Amino acid sequence: MSVLSGKKILLGISGGIAAYKTAHLVRLFIKAGAQVQVVMSPASLHFVTPLTLATLSKNPVYSTFYNEEDENGVWNNHVELGLWADLMIIAPATANTLSKMANGNCDNLLIATYLSAKCPVYFAPAMDLDMYKHPSTIDSFQKLSSFGNIIIPAENGELASGLTGEGRMAEPSTIVSFIESDVLGKLPLKGKKIMVTAGPTYEAIDPVRFIGNHSSGKMGFDIALQASKMGAEVTLISGPTHFQLENSQINLVKVQSAKEMYDACHRYYKDMDVVIAAAAVADYRPKNVALQKIKKTETTLSITLEKTEDILASLGEQKQNQFLIGFALETENEIENAKLKIQKKNLDLIVLNSLNDKGAGFGQPTNKVTFIDRDFTVEPMDLKSKEAVAFDIINKIIKHYEA
């Protein structure tokens, strides 16, 4: 999955011949999983039609502040467009448009939207080679760079004038790759390896029956997705769950039992920077597993249980430089029990859930957690969606590495 998946991309098109390439550029952004909104300068309408771009982006295309043919005069709000975007890309960026951007010459909707944008702005210059090297163009590049805007360098090649040289707009695939690489390189967990455990474990009684719990695995999956979005290389070790990963960059390891999860965790642990143990691992399993289905012959059935491997404690014992996060689900003496778990299992942070809190626990779309660190600092959080809780957990990791 592309790092652009889920991103809101505002594509600004100015009036150069390279505008014909933007249809392909829109398709590539959509293929990467982004939402695309197109804003065109009036001159760009001569090179590519709004209908083409609206069809590909599945959004209306804007080029004027209002539709002169509409007697109601509906305003195309440049401020809302600028605030909507996660990223803005101006391609092609002609010498004229670059000069307007650099000097705040706001005479069309595209420039007004650019001046309203609060997101990172990329621009892909496109012009003839003498224009590209002209001091005024270089001055525009320098000014825009000082604003924090990011240039996608033009390429050498055949130009519309018939000359060959620098000034050709980067190809759409190059633009997408450039932005992906730039976004990924700036993510706070880039280069970090994170292991997440999720879901329940099933401990077999016989070939048909098992001992399990009500964990859905959603919390762990949300954490893994959020960690990946922040640039981490993620391994997700999951017990049985109906959730499917849409992010192919996450290494999903499927297991059934506590023993299988124990083995998988230790297989990857030594290479990890961070471990988040969100799985609800069974504490006990049947000591003897029947090879055939147990027949219903008696009114009662006794099953002898034995303890499963304590995965988190074993990881704590072997911890070197890993940042180790555990979960605790409690029903009484929550804070005290969580603090004991931090000490016994050598944790850096624990995420405490209480079944006494409405909206928390298994099978819920929400969670209410309390963070407790190894210094026993207690930080209760409000009831939130599990996606928001995952965001909070990943932010704890980011702050740990920023400290």
Catalytic residues: 213
- Give residues with Cβ within 8 angstroms of 185, minimum separation 6: none
Q: CB of 279 within 8 A of CB of 308?
A: no
Q: CB of 338 within 8 A of CB of 312?
A: no
- Pick from 312, 335, 85, 294: which is nearest to 208 by CA? 294
Give, in degrees to the nearest 5, the angle at Cα 10 between 8 and 11: 135
Element (H, E) at 47: none
Tokens of 284: 């006990």
Q: CB of 392 within 8 A of CB of 384?
A: yes
What Cα–Cα distance (Å) separates residue 314 from each residue in 114, 237, 266, 326?
54, 16, 9, 12
Amino acid at 296: K
What Cα–Cα distance (Å) separates residue 225 from each residue in 200, 246, 367, 394?
18, 9, 17, 10
What's the rounded Cα separation, in Å, for the pair 279 and 217? 7
DSSP β-bridge partners for residue 203: 211
Cα of 53 vs its chain's centroid, Å? 26
Q: Can you point out the beta strands (E) in 19-83?
A: 35-40
DSSP β-bridge partners for residue 66: 75
Q: CB of 142 within 8 A of CB of 72?
A: no
What Cα–Cα distance (Å) separates residue 397 from each residue in 47, 323, 349, 402?
48, 8, 10, 9
DSSP-derived letter for residue 253 is E
Tokens of 375: 């210094």
DSSP β-bridge partners for residue 330: 354
Q: Can you point out the beta strands (E) in 22-180?
A: 35-40, 87-93, 121-125, 150-151, 155-158, 164-168
3-state DSSP call for residue 44?
helix
